[in-house]
């Protein structure tokens, strides 16, 4: 399928399934791939023709400090920042970052943590960010092919096979019911 036709297909699917702005917060520690994960999510939504805004807070990221990135998409998005307590999805790459970031999740929102992925399931633990995006992807209105394209676009070719496998592991985990917990406030 050619690129313009694929983009129209992604947009039609996404717009038919989302009329409001979707808010996603990705949190973790410096070096875990928070920013790369948010780039991939933003790329998927952008390829679908949606309005996308993204912001990031680095903090002491180079020293392993907290990092968060907000991704918002919909028909029209006015601000890159997810309002406090309004994240539809909170994807946390480090278990010790769940509690410090839980306040960002709206009541009834979805929390995705490293517990979603079975210990030892990944060939390389550095692909955890993409595996958790696999968990997220089954809840969003974009076809799997859009995620595959975004991964190929945002990662070096030598990382494609590893991360495409990580995405598949995450999708399988989410479809099996593991890894998604409804927030309770």
SS (H, E, C) 164-185: HHHHHHHHHHHHCCCCEEECCC
For 161-172, how does the pLDDT look when each residue is reduced to its tens digit (9 = 90+)? 999 999 999 999
For 134-155, how does the pLDDT look when each residue is reduced to its tens digit (9 = 90+)? 999 999 999 999 999 999 999 9
Instruction: Examine residue 90 and state whether it is found in any structural domain, yes or no.
Output: yes
158 contacts: CB under 8 Å, gap ≥ 6: none
Instruction: Examine residue 183 and state whether it is found in any structural domain, yes or no.
Output: no
d(CA 164, CA 96) in angstroms, rounded, equals: 26
pLDDT 10s digit of each residue in the chain, 185 long?
A: 566 666 555 555 555 455 589 999 999 998 899 999 999 999 999 999 999 999 988 665 556 788 999 999 999 999 999 999 999 999 999 999 999 999 999 999 999 999 999 999 999 999 999 999 999 999 999 999 999 999 999 999 999 999 999 999 999 999 985 443 333 33
Instruction: Examine residue 87 and state whether it is found in any structural domain, yes or no.
Output: yes
Instruction: Examine residue 109 and state whether it is found in any structural domain, yes or no.
Output: yes
d(CA 12, CA 17) in angstroms, rounded, equals: 9
- The residue behind tokens 């297909």 is 9
Instruction: Examine residue 81 and state whether it is found in any structural domain, yes or no.
Output: yes
Instruction: Report the CATH number at residue 33.
Output: 3.40.920.10
The count of structural domains within the chain is: 1
Instruction: Examine residue 73 and state whether it is found in any structural domain, yes or no.
Output: yes
Instruction: Examine residue 182 and state whether it is found in any structural domain, yes or no.
Output: no
Whole domain around residue 149: which residue ranges? 3-177
Instruction: Examine residue 185 and state whether it is found in any structural domain, yes or no.
Output: no
* Nearest Cα residue to 65 out of 87, 96, 24: 96
* Nearest Cα residue to 156 out of 133, 184, 126: 126
């Amino acid at each position: 399928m050619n690129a313009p036709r694929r983009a129209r297909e992604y947009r039609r699917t996404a717009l038919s399934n989302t009329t409001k702005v979707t808010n996603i917060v990705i949190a973790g520690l410096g070096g875990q791939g928070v920013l790369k994960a948010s780039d991939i999510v933003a790329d998927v939504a952008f390829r679908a023709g949606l309005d996308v805004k993204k912001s990031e807070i680095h903090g002491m990221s180079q020293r392993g400090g907290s990092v968060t990135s907000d991704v918002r998409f919909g028909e029209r998005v006015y601000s890159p920042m997810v309002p406090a307590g309004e994240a539809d999805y909170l994807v946390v790459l480090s278990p010790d970052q769940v509690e410090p970031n839980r306040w960002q999740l709206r009541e009834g929102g979805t929390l995705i943590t490293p517990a979603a992925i079975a210990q030892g399931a990944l060939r390389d633990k550095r692909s955890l960010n993409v595996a958790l995006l696999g968990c997220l992807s089954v809840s969003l209105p974009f076809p799997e092919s859009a995620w595959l394209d975004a991964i190929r676009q945002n990662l070096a070719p030598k990382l494609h096979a590893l991360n495409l496998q990580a995405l598949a592991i995450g999708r399988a985990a989410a479809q099996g019911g593991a890894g998604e917990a409804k927030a309770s406030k």
